[in-house]
């Protein structure tokens, strides 16, 4: 891969849908050693496809003959963001065979980018579609050959704990156990350390401000503190 296209990896294996008027297009972006390629197909019964590409020379003609690696990466990322965010438009759309159309990226920006598109033959379109489905089939092998992965991971499992119903002998023992427990229930005697002085009267709640160590001690009086406002 050339030194220029080596910074365009973010544009490889991107796919997006373009809704334009009553038409719907599928866009596929790929990068190889020689160029960045756009394939665009019109969904429907006709099965028409268009193709466009940028070579290293096309890229350098836009951003300059000696761009830095940082500039190349930023430029490629802007193009990728336009595709990912759906900021793409088919300019000069004409369904007539042989019409010159182009894909516009970031059409609302100050400097939109354009990729000229040329319609490809039916045989070439069928070959491209077959190769694309072969890639999809290879990727599906990692998810048990399902076209779309399931929401629950294949390795996840749910475990259930089974409980057996009580036997007849266990049921006959239940009344005996309940009788034994009821006979052993007694009111717990208070600890000698915390035994109240009088059982006949409930303990009085200490007054607010009284000492917790000596509740009979006279409560102190506290004067409320008032804060002046910021205006004073």
Handedness of CA 55, 58, 59, 61 (dihedral sign): positive
| 3-state SS class at 194 | helix
Give the chain's domains with CATH numbers: 4-120 (2.170.210)
Read off the pTM: 0.63
- Alpha carbons 205 and 130: distance in angstroms, whole number: 87
pLDDT in the model for residue 146: 93
pLDDT in the model for residue 182: 59
pLDDT digits (tens, 9 = 90+) for 104-120: 999 999 999 999 999 99
- Alpha carbons 105 and 118: distance in angstroms, whole number: 17
């Amino acid at each position: 891969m050339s030194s220029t296209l080596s910074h365009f990896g973010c544009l490889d294996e991107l796919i997006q849908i373009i809704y334009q008027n009553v038409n719907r297009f599928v866009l596929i972006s790929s990068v190889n050693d020689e160029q960045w390629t756009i394939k665009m197909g019109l969904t429907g019964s006709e099965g028409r496809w268009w193709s466009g590409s940028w070579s290293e020379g096309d890229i350098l003609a836009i951003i300059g003959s000696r761009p830095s690696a940082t500039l190349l990466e930023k430029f490629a990322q802007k193009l990728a963001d336009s595709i990912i965010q759906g900021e793409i438009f088919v300019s000069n759309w004409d369904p007539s065979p042989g019409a010159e159309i182009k894909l516009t990226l970031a059409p609302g920006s100050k400097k939109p980018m354009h990729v000229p598109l040329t319609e490809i033959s039916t045989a070439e379109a069928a070959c491209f579609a077959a190769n694309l489905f072969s890639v999809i089939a290879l990727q599906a092998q990692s998810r048990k050959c399902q076209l779309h992965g399931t929401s629950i991971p294949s390795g996840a499992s749910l475990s259930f704990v089974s409980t057996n119903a009580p036997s007849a002998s266990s049921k006959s023992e239940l009344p005996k156990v309940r009788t034994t427990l009821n006979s052993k229930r007694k009111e717990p005697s208070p600890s000698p350390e915390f035994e109240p002085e009088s059982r006949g009267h409930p303990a009085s709640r200490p007054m607010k401000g009284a000492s917790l160590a000596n509740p009979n001690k006279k409560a102190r009086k506290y004067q409320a503190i008032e804060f002046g406002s910021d205006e004073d």
